[in-house]
Structure 1
Amino acid sequence: MPREFSATRDDVDAIAAWTVIRAARTLARRLGEVLAPLGLSPVEFGALVQLAAGERLTQAELARAVGIRPQSVTTLVAALADRGLLDRGPERGRGRPSRITLTSTGRALLAEAFPVVLASNSWFAGDAEPLSAILAPFVGDATGPADVVP
């Protein structure tokens, strides 16, 4: 007969990965609230800032960099292109990876949004650097998956 399981709130809070997941959801909502006046979602901001950092990325590279499914990036890129925030390049089509770049309009919006998002570091008692260093191995980069953690 299976044993009945019980846990306390302290037991739940002791699971670091679960705490990070819960915190990430809360932080995404808060970031969404501060980006809303600029007409951006956290994922849209992520795409713009990753393009600024990586210059010319393929859709697959952008999906990895932002942490979204490749199926979702097509809709994201189309919406941002329709708003004039990025350029998908002339060589689009099945089997032809296009390189995505920010437009001047995208760079201007990012210039407004970046300080707003950077100010969110104050949510971490003014010093988000140690937290960023701890979490960095889990997020990977634009060139590969984030499935290898030291």
Structure 2
Amino acid sequence: MTAAARSAGDPGLTLLLWELHQTARVAARHVDRAVEAAGISTPEFGVLACVNDEPGITRADIARQLHLRPQALTATVDKLQQRGLIDGTASGRGRPSRLTVTDAGRDALDGVWPAIVALNAPGNLGMTEQEALALATRLARLRRLLTEREADPL
């Protein structure tokens, strides 16, 4: 395995999205191990974090935040409800379900949070605080740009 960025033999060519894609795969494996050690899956962590951060959030809003189709989210939300980690109430037929984290859900988040914080610590990533903040800011900006372009691909 090479650590060098791919360039199709052209050292002047930077394939940033390809490098980001490959890096995201490696990063995802690290996150997966951290959350699974706490007894939840990565999708469950994402949903719990969204619901914890925004009590009353709807499934559709979670799907938007996690960049998932609402249908893909259903099984995860249902499983979390069955396990008693989140509650959902609908205000009427055809109305969106408003989700909240239960005490058990907060316990699950509390169990995984130290590992997530350690995993993201700039020193553990070979960066200073400023470098990590700058990279996170640039990545968020890139994600927004790419999301906006999804409707109008290049």
* TM-score normalized with structure 1 length: 0.79
Higher relative contact order (Cα pairs below 8 Å, separated by 6+ residues):
1
Q: After superposition, what is the alpha-carbon deviation per residue over 1:3-34, rounded to whole angstroms, capped at 9, x for unaligned?
A: xxx9228577x211111111111111111112
> Partner letter of residue 24 of structure 1?
A
Percent identity of paired positions between Structure 1 and Structure 2: 32
1:73 matches 2:34? no
* Residue pair 1:32, 1:40 contacting (<8 A) in 2 also: no
Q: Match of 2:30?
A: 30
Inter-CA distance 138–53: structure 2 relative to 1 (3 Å threshold): farther
Deviation at 1:129, TM superposition (A): 1.8
1:50 matches 2:42? no
Count of residues in correspondence between the two structures: 138
What is the rounded CA distance, in whole Å, between the counterparts of 1:58 and 1:74 in structure 2? 11
Q: Match of 1:147?
A: 148
* Residue pair 1:138, 1:147 contacting (<8 A) in 2 also: no
* Residue pair 2:90, 2:96 contacting (<8 A) in 1 also: no
Structure 2: 5+ residue runs without aligned partners? 1-6
What is the rounded CA distance, in whole Å, between the counterparts of 2:118 and 2:95 in structure 1? 39
CA RMSD across the alignment = 2.6
3-state secondary structure, aligned to 1:147: helix
Inter-CA distance 115–72: structure 2 relative to 1 (3 Å threshold): same
Deviation at 1:81, TM superposition (A): 0.8
1:134 matches 2:138? yes
Bigger strand share:
2
Inter-CA distance 139–103: structure 2 relative to 1 (3 Å threshold): farther
Inter-CA distance 54–146: structure 2 relative to 1 (3 Å threshold): farther
What is the rounded CA distance, in whole Å, between the counterparts of 1:97 and 1:22 in structure 2? 36
Inter-CA distance 92–46: structure 2 relative to 1 (3 Å threshold): farther
Inter-CA distance 125–111: structure 2 relative to 1 (3 Å threshold): same
What is the rounded CA distance, in whole Å, between the counterparts of 1:91 and 1:63 in structure 2? 20
> Partner letter of residue 126 of structure 2?
A
* Residue pair 2:59, 2:73 contacting (<8 A) in 1 also: yes
Structure 1: 5+ residue runs without aligned partners? 1-5
Deviation at 1:91, TM superposition (A): 4.3
